[in-house]
Amino acid sequence: EPEVTQTPSHQVTQMGQEVILRCVPISNHLYFYWYRQILGQKVEFLVSFYNNEISEKSEIFDDQFSVERPDGSNFTLKIRSTKLEDSAMYFCASSVPGRVNTEAFFGQGTRLTVV
C-alpha cells in the first residue's frame, strides 16, 4: 500500500537553529500538508500546498515557517529559528483532489525536540 514517508523520525536541535523536516508524499497525490501535534494535545493544521504554492495556512504558520517542493517527490517544512515551543510531532499528509474526498494520508511523523 502506498504511504507517506517522513524523515528523520526524530530530530533534536538547539534553540535558534534551523531545521528541515522532509516528506515524500504518495506519488499521484496533488495536495500536501503539514500538521503538528504537541505532546498530549490535538493535531493542528499548519499549511496546505498545491500547484507549487501555499493554498491555506493557519495562524501558527508564521514567518519562521516555510514549505517547499524542491523536486517532483519531496515536500519540506523549514523552521528558521526554532523555539522551545516548536517541540512537537510534525505530520506530513497528502491527498488527491476530489469533490467528496475528505481522506488525507498521514505519515508516521517527525518528533522534533528543541533544547
Partner 1 sequence: LAKTTQPISMDSYEGQEVNITCSHNNIATNDYITWYQQFPSQGPRFIIQGYKTKVTNEVASLFIPADRKSSTLSLPRVSLSDTAVYYCLVARPDYGGSQGNLIFGKGTKLSVKP
Minimum distance of partner 1 from residue 113's CB (angstroms): 13
Per-residue cell: 111: 518528533
Measured CA angle at 11 (ends 8, 13), to 5 deg: 145
Look at residues 111, 112, 93, 89 and name the one whose alpha carbon lies nearest to residue 103: 93
Does 113 contact partner 1 by CB under 8 A?
A: no
Q: How many CB atoms lie within 10 A of CB 77?
A: 25
Total number of residues binding partner 1 (CB under 8 A)?
Answer: 35
Ranges within 51-90 binding partner 1 (CB under 8 A): 55-58, 89
Minimum distance of partner 1 from residue 79's CB (angstroms): 19
Distance between CA atoms of residues 45 and 29, nearest Å: 18
Among 21, 82, 91, 112, binds partner 1 (CB under 8 A): 91
Minimum distance of partner 1 from residue 59's CB (angstroms): 13
Does 98 contact partner 1 by CB under 8 A?
A: yes
Minimum distance of partner 1 from residue 36's CB (angstroms): 11
Does 97 contact partner 1 by CB under 8 A?
A: yes
Distance between CA atoms of residues 91 and 84, nearest Å: 18
